[in-house]
Structure formats: structure tokens, C-alpha cells
DNA sequence: TTTTATTTTAATCATTTGATTAAAAAATTT
DNA sequence: AAATTTTTTAATCAAATGATTAAAATAAAA
């Protein structure tokens, strides 16, 4: 079989390679990933990877763009929707973020650790400044607590949501938690985090 | 100069290499680090690295043990001291953790991302289960809120303290924060986090 | 069916990289 | 000062790794 029809069940070779790349890059990071690992995972010859993507670097870049978007696009529409109240925003962020991360637990540590190597390359893709400066959420936070930099609350929400996933291996090993218990805990946090943030906003 | 006197100003070659290894490993991670990078950073011949430490793996292990301890030993004495009240504990954890991390901002992302590769190898060094199960802090949290798994509050405290450092590159790039502003924000959090946790513990 | 274009592979290259070796240099001991 | 031990270096190895090439296999077009 050489070329595949563009129609039909087109999980093409190209997409098979990209899927394998997503898996291996996300689990091991750029530097620890060998192009041969990806080829093997995809069940294809190594040369095919370079035939379709030119280089490890270019393949990684495509995956990275996807993953950065995946990490930011969950909250972007919520944060910027001025028709949603502050409390609703926080609930929806917690809920949709946790739901997504339960499916992709190693996304945050992957993106954040790769991003620190070269933030600028991916800055123009996500524009995280739009998630913050003058976003509806930040405006609402400023109004609720004019005395505190709204970035504090953003850091709190993201920290409470993302940190358990980032530290998951340690928590799991330290407490002999199994996957079910971890999931249960994160499900609880969908309710708890909004209540906690609400309480935090009321401190004087 | 060959051997150095064991007494005297003994920043020995061995220590010079280790210091360079700390720096490079912490900044780039294990896989992205070349032993030649470390040798150059230390200003020594590559063969010396293997002469003193046998292998990249063994050198990394020594550095990693130090770094894991550095990350956990800040809070270990506080968490287990039953003579300190719950509120004091939280204040002290926030303060000493933030002080330490302002000096070593890339410690958390380094340790957590390397740790996910093989937690067990370093588990016997830190015994994080002692920081949690039956620690004084957990006992106090259970007493304050018997209805909520104390691990939630631990995750919240650590998340609010550590996450800003983990996401620092993104925050800094997104908001054009400079080092001074970031430091100021973290200084504010030394006061704010304990107040927030106190409020969280009171929600019903 | 023949021809052409596309896809896939096996083999191979050139570099990088962790590690070793044998010899030189420096310090310590006798 | 001579002998011995320790430290350092230059040169080199072997394996790993990203990438290329030329040929084979397959599909599509004529």
C-alpha cells in the first residue's frame, strides 16, 4: 500500500506518526525523545518520519503548538466571556479544566517544562496576555478586590487546579494513591475550588 | 596544579564539577544536558568528570538527591513539629518556601519533571509519606475540617506557593513582568496565602 | 496494460555524545 | 632530590542518533 485515498478511513500514515509523536513527546519531553521511539510507536520506518515532517524539530513544533493550544484554549472562552458572572467563571474553569486534565494528566508538566526553554516561539500562537490583561475575569476580580493584584487570584485558581496534576507522581507514590482515588479527589475539587476562591475573595 | 590540599580554601575540582552540574542539570534537565556542557561550565576537561563521578548518571543522581532534599527539607521540620499551631505552620511554610524559591526559582519544575521519570529511585531518600500520613499538619487539618480530605489543603498550600514558580516563564512573558515585580508579588503572597487558607478552612 | 506519481523501506552517513586510555603534570611522601 | 601517588589532559572509541539516499513497492492515471 502506497498512497492512501484522501477520503475514506483516512488515519493516514502522516497522522499515525503525529499521534505517536504526541504520545512520546508528551511523556518523555523533547530532549529524551528519540525519533526512533516515535517511528516504533507509530509502526513505521524511521525515514518516513523525516519524509513527512522534515525533522524532529519541525514535528515537535507542530505537536507543541497543539498542546499549548490545548492547555490554554480550555479557559480562553470562559475567561473572556463578559456575560458570565465571576462565580460562574470560576466554577466553569475548575470543571472544564479538571475534566480535560483527567484525560491528559501529563499535559501541564509537559507544556510548562518545554515552554521554559523558549517561551517566545509559542507566544504568538496563544497570546496568553489576552487571557489576562483586560480579560473579563481580571476586570471582575479587580472589582471584587480592588486592593489585591488580580494576578494573585489567577495564580491561585490555576495553582489549585493544575498543581495536583503536576505533582501527581509524587502524591501517588507518597500516598499509594491509585488512579481511582486520584480521580475521585479531582472530582471533589470541581466543587471545592470555587467555594474556596469565593471565601478567599471575601477575606479582609 | 594537581591535587589540592584537603584543608585550606578547598573549592576542589570535584566540587567545581558538582556545582556546574547543579547549574546545568537544573536549567536544562537530565536528557538535554551534555556532559561537555558541565565540563565547560566547570572549566575542566571532560575526562575529569568521569574520573570523579564515573558517569553522567551517577553525577546526576547525586545532584538529584540534593535537589529533592532541598525541595522537601524546607517544610519537613515545620510539618512535623506538633508544638506549632496550624495557623503558624501555614505562615511558616509559605514564608520559608517562598524565601527559598526566590533564590532557586527553577527548583520545583526541575525536580517534579525529573521525578515523574522514576519516582521510586528517590522515594527512599525523602520519604514524602512522612510529610503527609500522620504528620502533625495533617492531624491538625483533619481536626479543623474532618469533612474534607486533608490532602486537599496540602495540595492547595503547595499549589499556591509552588505554581507561580512553575509557571513563572509564562507569567513573565505574558505580562511583561520583570524580576522585581515577580519578587514583589511573591513577597505579598507570604502574607496572603496564610489568610486565604484560613478562610478556606472556615467555609461550610 | 503501461506509464507515472507517490509512498515506503533498507542501508548508510555524519555528528554527537558518554566514556576510556595512556601519558603528562603536579603534588606528596620518603 | 628521588620516588610515589594523585590529578589533569589530549586523543580516541564505540554507540546512539538525526538525517539522507537510492531503490523497491504500491497506487493512480493514461
pLDDT at residue A204 above 60?
A: yes
- Report CA(A49)–C1'(C2) in Å, whole number: 32
Q: Are B199 and A195 inside 8 Å of each other by CB?
A: no
Continuous H helices in A29-149:
35-42, 46-53, 56-73, 76-79, 86-103, 107-115, 120-126, 128-132, 136-144
Protein residue with the closest CA to the C1' atom of nucleotide C5: A3
CA distances from A94 to A99, B96, B202 (A): 8, 29, 20
Q: Are A167 and B155 inside 8 Å of each other by CB?
A: yes
H helix or E strand, kind and range, residue A159 = helix A150-166
Shortest CA gap B35–chain A (Å): 14
Residue B77: CB atoms within 10 Å: 11
| pLDDT digit string, tens, across residues A12-68 | 899 999 999 999 999 999 999 999 999 999 999 999 999 999 999 999 999 999 999
Report how far residue A4's alpha carbon sits from residue A73's, in angstroms, rounded to the nearest whole number: 32
pLDDT score of B120: 79
pLDDT at residue A6 above 70?
A: no
| Band of pLDDT at residue A122, cut at 50, 70 and 90 | confident
pLDDT at residue A145 above 70?
A: yes
Q: Are A155 and B151 inside 8 Å of each other by CB?
A: no
pLDDT score of A57: 97
| Band of pLDDT at residue A175, cut at 50, 70 and 90 | confident
Report how far residue B60's alpha carbon sits from residue B63's, in angstroms, rounded to the nearest whole number: 5
pLDDT score of B126: 84
pLDDT at residue A126 above 90?
A: no
Secondary structure string (H, E, C) spanning chain B: CCCCCCCCCCCCHHHHHHHHHHHHHHHHCCCCCCHHHHHHHHCCCHHHHHHHHCCHHHHHHHHHHHHHHHHHHCCHHHHCCCCCCHHHHHHHHHHHHHHHHHHCCCHHHHHHHHHCCCCHHHHHHHCHHHHHCCCHHHHHHHHHCCCCCHHHHHHHHHHHHHHHHHCHHHHHHHHCCCHHHHHHHHHHHHHHHHHHHHHHHHCC
| pLDDT digit string, tens, across residues A65-101 | 999 999 999 999 999 999 999 999 999 999 999 999 9
Nearest CB partner across the interface for A203, out of B119, B185, B195: B195
Shortest CA gap B95–chain A (Å): 16
Report how far residue B131's alpha carbon sits from residue A122's, in angstroms, rounded to the nearest whole number: 37
Shortest CA gap A95–chain B (Å): 16
pLDDT score of A104: 98
Nearest CB partner across the interface for A159, out of B117, B163, B170: B163
Partners of A171 on chain B (C-beta within 8 Å) are: 151, 155
B11: left (phi over 0), alpha (psi -120 to 50) or beta: beta
- Report CA(B51)–C1'(D6) in Å, whole number: 12
- Return the SS3 of A32: coil
Q: What would the grid cell of residue A62 be?
A: 507542530
Q: Which residue has the higher pLDDT, B119 or A161?
A: A161
Residue A103: CB atoms within 10 Å: 7
Report how far residue A195's alpha carbon sits from residue B196's, in angstroms, rounded to the nearest whole number: 12
pTM for the structure as a whole: 0.94
pLDDT in tens, chain B (204 residues): 333 433 333 468 999 999 999 999 999 999 999 999 999 999 999 999 999 999 999 999 999 999 999 999 999 999 999 999 999 999 999 999 999 999 999 999 999 999 999 887 888 888 888 778 889 999 999 999 999 999 999 999 999 999 999 999 999 988 889 999 999 999 999 999 999 999 999 998
pLDDT score of A131: 77
A·B CB contacts under 8 A: 150
Mean pLDDT of A160-185: 94
Amino acid at each position: 500500500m502506497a498512497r492512501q485515498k484522501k477520503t475514506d478511513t483516512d488515519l493516514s500514515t502522516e497522522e499515525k506518526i503525529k499521534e505517536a509523536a504526541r504520545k512520546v513527546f508528551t511523556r518523555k519531553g523533547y530532549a529524551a525523545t528519540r525519533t526512533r521511539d516515535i517511528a516504533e510507536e507509530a509502526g513505521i520506518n524511521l525515514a518516513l518520519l523525516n519524509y513527512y515532517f522534515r525533522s524532529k524539530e519541525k514535528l515537535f513544533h507542530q505537536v507543541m503548538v497543539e498542546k499549548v493550544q490545548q492547555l490554554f484554549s480550555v479557559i480562553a472562552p470562559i475567561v473572556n466571556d463578559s456575560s458570565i458572572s465571576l462565580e460562574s467563571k470560576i466554577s466553569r474553569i475548575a470543571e472544564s479544566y479538571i475534566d480535560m486534565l483527567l484525560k491528559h494528566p501529563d499535559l501541564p508538566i509537559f507544556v510548562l517544562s518545554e515552554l521554559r526553554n523558549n517561551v517566545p516561539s509559542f507566544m504568538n500562537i496563544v497570546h496568553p496576555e489576552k487571557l489576562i490583561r483586560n480579560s473579563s475575569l481580571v476586570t471582575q476580580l479587580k472589582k471584587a478586590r480592588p486592593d489585591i493584584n488580580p494576578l494573585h487570584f489567577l495564580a491561585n485558581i490555576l495553582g489549585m487546579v493544575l498543581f495536583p496534576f503536576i505533582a501527581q507522581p509524587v502524591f501517588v507514590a507518597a500516598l499509594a494513591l491509585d488512579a481511582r482515588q486520584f480521580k475521585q479527589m479531582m472530582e471533589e475539587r470541581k466543587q471545592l475550588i470555587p467555594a474556596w476562591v469565593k471565601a478567599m475573595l471575601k477575606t479582609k
